[in-house]
Structure 1
Amino acid sequence: MQPLLEPGERMEEASSKPSVSLWGWISTFRTMAMEAYQRKPISHWILLVLSSGAMLVAFPASSLLSRVYYANGGKSKWIISWVAVVGWPLTALILIPTYFVFKTCPTPLNFKLVLSYIVLGFLSGADNLMYAYAYAYLPASTASLLASSSLVFSALFGYFIVKNKLNASIINAIVIITAAMTIIALDSDSDTYGNVSNSQYIMGFIWDIMGSALHGLIFALSELLFVKLLGRRSFHVVLEQQVMVSLFGFVFTTIGVIVNGDFQNMTTEARSFKGGKAAYYLVLIWSAITFQLGVLGGTAVLFLSSTVLAGVLNAVRVPLTSIAAVILLGDSMSGFKILSLIVTFWGFGCFIYGNSSKSKDSSQ
């Protein structure tokens, strides 16, 4: 039988327990972090930091540059969608050395694999075109918030096509992010540029949601490609898939630019562009570079870490893009948009938690 404690002693003991628990949690987390760090060479962590940085910097920069193009006199939707895939040789230049570093051979091509790359390339080109329409009519902060709905469509298409499991947290995330998109729709009056009509704003909203849905479908089909045809997910195989899809996307988009006559119109656009020809071509060149760097960063994060970390970084880059658009481009940040941003971030947290729980269950 334990001796009775005085009231003051009881309070002191009770108040000391939470602090011990907190320090114990911190100590456990620090131990786990050190063990994870020691399991991998320093080169692994350097590459992971660089890849994460590429995602957090390059993707928002690409989104802002698309808006800069339209805000300063650019009009072509095909040019911006073409710029998103014209940088595919950068990925190819990184892919080729991996064959020598990892002593691997290119994945043999067959009819089904080539057909899959063609279909994904076509869908990728269409997806970029939809997003181009969105950035033509919407502020960059709004467009990035709406594009976060691709997470919802990735989960839904993954469930129906790849048979991925849905748990309560992921379903909760789907509902929350959908609510965030509804909040954005309520703010259309204060979120429209002076030269954009209400009908164009609505079309931009619709194109952004459709592009996000198509992006989710592409993600699910890409996962199905790895499961059914490639059967593995090594670094060079992921890069091969990215190169081939971007190549066919580049082919389809180039045909669209030629048919639409936009290559001939580039000279006229450059002359009337605010800042001059040099600024016009620099915007397009850096748009191509930043988009490919973002894709490469995302690919490397998936390989070096996990889909959970990639999801965390995707969640972080949404507010980064919105805040950067407010600071650099003068986008409005109304109460509705701030609320939507908070709700979106909450939805991302639920999705990441749901995926981590699902991973733990499958590993047990």
Structure 2
Amino acid sequence: MDELDKMELHMTGPSKSATEADRPPPPSSRLRSWQWWFIVALNIFFLLAGQTAATLLGRFYYDQGGNSKWMATLVQTAGFPILCLPLFLFPSTHPPPATSIIPHPSHAKIALVYVILGLIIAADNLMYSYGLLYLPVSTYSLVCATQLAFNAVFSYYLNSQKFTAFIMNSVVLLTFSAALLGFNENSESSADVSKGKYAIGFILTLGASATYSLILSLMQLTFQKVIRKETFSAVLEMQIYTAFVASCAAVVGLLASGEWKDLKSEMEAYGKGTVSYVMTLVWTGLSWQVASVGVVGLIFVVSSLFSNVISTLALPVVPVFAVIFFHDKMNGVKIVAMLIAIWGFASYLYQHYLDDSKAKKTVGHTEYVPAHGS
């Protein structure tokens, strides 16, 4: 793990002579590249598995009689103590060579950043909780895909992300996908959810997607400008401290709203029983933490935009499970919206492929490790 912590996410080594350039890369170079791709793949798995499970469990909580929006908000971050285990097992004892001469930022500055991010995360989670309550889970998942479009814009302004024709195409397509779902309001609203609540859920989910995209860009900016160290521990500390702040804010909201008074009766009336109520909340919390590790990990090793793109891979997965478990309707409009969103996702992936190929050609035979913000 120390070796992983020491990985520099940029091209390394001085310019080489022609003789040196003709030599194959040393074993250590190949190992570093292999380690980088392994970490990326592992974080992708964490993100997709955690996000899919957490979304479905969140909908299950509401369907079985759960009604506390603040409780649904709290469980999205309350599982953070589980992350202390890998933090203690795999500490980063040595700073990366590229950042060893950079002075460490003050604790007050880092604490302020964590508090601000934590409060934004709490507000974002609350909006998601309302969205999941008022929208079918398949519609909710498709609206969440718009976060890629928002993140492309935020990454351009905050993280110097290139805004190419393919990324612009992705933004436009995902915007059209969300617009189609907005026009689908009449067929989606039901006796249990009025048109007004459907509209509120749609707007709040859209706002939550924009806020989530802003959070990802701010996290990447924090790594680059404030923390200025790229280690496994830095990723976990970011997640733990921001989740702690967000959880405290959710507890305050739960107490201030008075929803805590109804939790006992809610548990007793839960459709699948008291044990199922507790386990639903526990596993929802753990699933969100697994997803969060994947999100922050991909920001750390690649970029916030790539992290957001990977999260949209759950797009075709969640609606399928929603039809199977919750009997959501997959009408023509929703299917078209899904296909447009997948097209937008593929458009960005192709751009990422072009960037990666161009970088490898530029580097040639020198040692290459995919760069931050690629």
Q: TM-score, normalised by structure 2?
A: 0.80
Distance in 2 separating the partners of 1:47 and 1:170: 25
Distance in 2 separating the partners of 1:162 and 1:42: 26
Residue 98 (str. 1) matches residue 90 (str. 2): yes
Structure 2 spans left out of the alignment, 5+ residues: 1-26, 96-103, 363-374
Aligned residue type for 2:286: I
Count of aligned residue pairs for this structure pair: 327
Q: Counterpart in 1 of 2:56?
A: 64
Distance in 2 separating the partners of 1:317 and 1:196: 25
Distance in 2 separating the partners of 1:67 and 1:269: 15
Distance in 2 separating the partners of 1:328 and 1:211: 25
Aligned residue type for 1:103: T
Q: Counterpart in 2 of 1:165?
A: 162
Of 323, 330, 338, the match for 2:327: 330
Q: What is the CA deviation profile of residues 180-232 of structure 1, one whole-angstrom value per residue up to 9, with x for unaligned ones?
A: 00111122222224300000000000000000111111111112111211123
Residue 155 (str. 1) matches residue 187 (str. 2): no
Question: What's the Cα RMSD here?
Answer: 2.7
Q: Counterpart in 2 of 1:118?
A: 115
Higher alpha-carbon deviation: 38-47 or 215-224: 38-47
Aligned residue type for 1:160: Y
Of 209, 212, 221, the match for 2:209: 212
Aligned residue type for 2:163: L
Contact 2:180 2:337 in 1 (8 A): yes
Of 223, 241, 246, the match for 1:249: 246
When Rg is computed on C-alpha atoms for both structures, the one with the higher figure is 1
Distance in 1 separating the partners of 2:42 and 2:281: 24
- SS for the counterpart of 1:73 is coil
Identity among equivalent positions (%) equals 29
Aligned residue type for 2:284: S
Contact 1:55 1:295 in 2 (8 A): yes
Higher alpha-carbon deviation: 228-237 or 179-188: 228-237
Contact 1:308 1:352 in 2 (8 A): no
Contact 1:308 1:355 in 2 (8 A): no
Q: Counterpart in 2 of 1:13?
A: none
Cα distance change on mapping 1:38 and 1:194 into 2, 3 Å: farther
Q: Counterpart in 2 of 1:82?
A: 74
Q: TM-score, normalised by structure 1?
A: 0.82
Distance in 2 separating the partners of 1:207 and 1:306: 26
Query: Displacement of 1:121 after TM fit?
Result: 0.3
Q: What is the CA deviation profile of residues 120-142 of structure 1, one whole-angstrom value per residue up to 9, with x for unaligned ones?
A: 00000000000000001001111
Cα distance change on mapping 1:219 and 1:54 into 2, 3 Å: closer
Query: Displacement of 1:42 after TM fit?
Result: 8.2
Query: Displacement of 1:104 after TM fit?
Result: 3.8
Query: Displacement of 1:233 after TM fit?
Result: 2.5
Distance in 1 separating the partners of 2:274 and 2:333: 38
Aligned 1:225-236 pairs, distance under 5 A: 225-236=222-233
Cα distance change on mapping 1:234 and 1:47 into 2, 3 Å: closer
Query: Displacement of 1:311 after TM fit?
Result: 5.2
Cα distance change on mapping 1:355 and 1:144 into 2, 3 Å: same
Distance in 1 separating the partners of 2:301 and 2:325: 32
Query: Displacement of 1:279 after TM fit?
Result: 1.7
Contact 2:64 2:271 in 1 (8 A): yes
Q: Counterpart in 2 of 1:177?
A: 174
Query: Displacement of 1:37 after TM fit?
Result: 12
Cα distance change on mapping 1:113 and 1:130 into 2, 3 Å: same
Query: Displacement of 1:325 after TM fit?
Result: 0.7
Distance in 1 separating the partners of 2:156 and 2:36: 32
Of 306, 312, 315, the match for 2:312: 315
Query: Displacement of 1:85 after TM fit?
Result: 0.7
Query: Displacement of 1:98 after TM fit?
Result: 2.0
Query: Displacement of 1:301 after TM fit?
Result: 4.8
Cα distance change on mapping 1:305 and 1:115 into 2, 3 Å: closer
Cα distance change on mapping 1:222 and 1:49 into 2, 3 Å: closer
Contact 2:105 2:226 in 1 (8 A): no
